Amino acid sequence: MYSNEFEKCFADFLDRHEYDEAENALFAMVRIAFSAGWQAAGGAPPQSERIYELLPSCPSSPSADQRP
C-alpha cells in the first residue's frame, strides 16, 4: 500500500491536463491496435457514423396553462 502523500500526488497528477492528453493518446493507440487485429482476423473494418443527427422541429404542444 502506498503512503497518503503518494496517493495525494498521484491524484493531483491525474487531475492535470497532461494526463488527459496521455490517456487519450494511449486509448487511441489501443483502439487502433485492436482494430488492426480485428481486421486481420477477418472482421469488417469500422464504418464512420454520424455522431449526432439534427431532427426537424416539431410544433410545440400547448403549455400546461393553455390546456382545457
Contact 45, 35 (CB under 8 A): yes
Distance between CA 46 and CA 44 in Å, rounded?
6
Weakest mean pLDDT among 14-18, 42-46, 55-59: 55-59
Contacts of residue 22, Cβ cutoff 8 Å, sequence gap at least 6: none
Distance between CA 45 and CA 25 in Å, rounded?
21
Please give the model's pTM, rounded to 2 decimal places. 0.56
Q: Which residue has the cell 497518503?
A: 4
pLDDT, tens only, 39-53: 999 999 888 887 787
